[in-house]
Chains A and B, each alone.
Chain A
Amino acid sequence: MGAYIVRRIAQGLLVLLLVSFICFVIFQYMGDPAWALAGRYATPKQLEMVRKKLGLDKPFYIQYLIFLKNALRGNFGMSFVSRLPAMQVILERLPATFELALMAMLIAIVCGVGLGVLVSVSPHSPASRLIMAGSLIGISIPTFLTGILLIMIFAVELRWLPPFGRGEVVRIFGNWRSGLLTWDGFRHLILPALTLSSYQLAVLLRLTRAGMMEVLGEEYIKAAWAKGLPQRAVLFKHALRNALIPVVTMIGLQFGELIAFSIVTETVFQWPGMGNLLLSAIFESDQPVIVSYITFVSLVILSLNLLVDILYVFINPKIRYV
């Protein structure tokens, strides 16, 4: 297990190195790196200083090493737009995205797995058919459309929930501002979280159902029924545990999707998160912010994937990493 984790971390570092190289190319060749570090409003003298400091006259690999050194310190230069350190600009938006993604994940996992089990128990009941039809729509409707339709229904027509923004936030610690602790903030979170969760919910539901249907036909489930175990024990302890393995794989694979769709959701709801920032950075050619975003998101995705792989061992004792 220890050796496996070390190997996985080494692999992750290799990928990060590759990502950093791509970022370096973006930084160096898609816009002037001197400007990237000094900011768009730098004086010619400042620019000259930065050029010298960056070593733009030095060979390619030295330039890359300098970039790496800066990257390790989290220094990706100044945002062209806000003229603040780019990584800081990204991290300021982290709480908004984190709360949105966490809430969406919770909804998707709880409802997806729960409904999946429910449907697998009585696959031919009208309720099950309705849920399955809903899940078909769920995997067939793009996230941005879900968001707009929810806004049209619940914000514009019914006026139950606010259509955009994050509402009232309170500072918990440091710069972490949370919207979860105020009623207004919570109300603002509902529609975006539902939007972001809808696709994953449908995917997890279908996967859980398929897994459960397969497992429920196995001999050991019949044995469990025969022993006279209560339904809840058979379903959740014996069946779900085995049906859950592909589901956990999928949850692990979906972190990237979740981050991608958070860009979409944040755009639809003008949610002040990292995805929203990335999109404006793209339109404003704010290279330092884009590069910081890519680096940060890569770090998050790689560590979450490692975490999920380690989790496997606890769900399925059959898996032994060597």
Chain B
Amino acid sequence: MSKGKILRHFLRDPSAVAGAAILSIFVVGALFAPLIAPQNPYDLETLSLADSLKPPIWMEGGEAPFLLGTDEQGRDVLSTILYGCRTSLTVAFGVVLVAGTFGMIMGLLAGFYGKFIDALVMRSADVFYSFSTTLMAILVLGLLKQKGVLVLILAISLTDWVRYARTLRGSVLAIKEEDYISAARAVGAPGLRVIFRHVLPNAVPPLLVVAAVDFGVVIMLEATLSFLGVGLPVTQPSLGMMISIGRKYVYAGKWWLIVFPGLALTAIVVGINLIADWLREEINPRIQKAVKGR
């Protein structure tokens, strides 16, 4: 399928376009947070306790420049959300990169060479799947008692790679039987060349779906871990941490401390899931037929 055709399909699907639009708003907001945000919420000098717990600007008691209100320490909620999205997206990109790369290598080796590596990959996939990335991450981070973006990326990737490995292994096993692979081998192409030139490009599409879904899952997972207090340190802006702080004020009616970061969090994941749904239908010819047939 040509690139132009894919783009046309994409533009014809309103929910995919909406997903991409939502996601790009947050990516741009996160990238340019220092320029856009009215305040640097983690620069203590700009904070004043006199500004604490102000409601959003349209409510009584709201004050400029705190568009969406402030938290207990006088941090601007909008600014903290922008900086928090930065952390969320960094962790998600990091995990997709680390777990994706490692998972791809293991999946290729397992599918192509089989035997020991195959057994190793599949058994660890079974175990990690049944214990779930969330549970493993809570335990690993809780026992290590280490916090920070890098630790978080590594702790999640520790089990998350099996998603990629398992998917790629499946594709490789199917592709291996294709005639063009036998042909490449028959003309004497070396193993690595066959893997990278012939097998990998054909096995990538399903991996894109896995990566997209994973990206959303990791964003939720990072927020969850930070909410539980085993993810990021309090000095790091994070949507999960914001909600965890806001939870203390639920009974005091300070809803903006939870609703706005929660909305941002959910919107990012909805955006990526809309794209993932579209990708899945675009790639899976069986569903495509069903969609066209109706």
Contacts and interface: CB of A to CB of B under 8 A. Distances in A.
A115 interface: no
Interface string A229-269: 00000000000000000000000011111011101100110
Interface residue range, chain A: 35 or more
B247 A302 contact: no
Output the residue of B139, B221, B255 with the most chain A CB within 10 A: B139
Given A148-B250, A148-B258, A282-B142, A255 B130 contact: yes
Contact of A149 (B216, B258, B277, B286): B258
Nearest to A297: B135
A156 B216 CA distance: 30
Given A145-B243, A253-B130, A283 B229 contact: yes
B244 to A, nearest CB: 8
Interface residue range, chain B: 35 or more
A126 interface: no
Contacts of A261: 134
B247 A148 contact: yes
A172 interface: no
Interface string A139-160: 1111111001101100010000
A137 interface: yes
B243 A140 contact: no
Contacts of A149: 258, 262
B145 to A, nearest CB: 8
B143 interface: yes
Contacts of A259: 132, 135
Interface in B175-205: none
A26 interface: yes
A142 B134 CA distance: 12
A319 interface: no
A305 interface: yes
A3 interface: no
Interface of A: prevailing SS = helix
Interface in B226-248: 227-230, 240, 243, 247
Interface string A197-219: 00000000000001001100100
A131 B243 CA distance: 27
Given A140-B273, A141-B269, A217-B293, A260 B138 contact: yes
Contacts of A152: 250, 255, 258
Nearest to B222: A142
13 contacts: A11-B123, A140-B220, A141-B262, A142-B221, A142-B240, A144-B227, A144-B243, A145-B223, A210-B287, A260-B135, A264-B224, A282-B138, A305-B130
Given A156-B253, A259-B132, A282-B230, 13 more contacts: A11-B123, A136-B274, A141-B266, A145-B258, A148-B258, A148-B262, A151-B250, A152-B255, A213-B290, A256-B132, A259-B135, A260-B138, A264-B224
Pick the 9 closest A-B CB pairs, nearest first: A256-B132, A282-B142, A260-B134, A260-B135, A140-B269, A142-B220, A140-B270, A257-B132, A256-B131
Interface of B: 123, 127, 129-132, 134-135, 138-139, 142-143, 145, 216, 220-221, 223-224, 227-230, 240, 243, 247, 250-251, 253, 255, 258, 262, 265-266, 269-270, 273-274, 277, 286-287, 290, 293
Interface of A: 11, 15, 26, 30, 136-137, 139-145, 148-149, 151-152, 156, 210, 213-214, 217, 253-257, 259-261, 263-264, 267-268, 278-279, 282-283, 285, 290, 294, 297-298, 301-302, 305
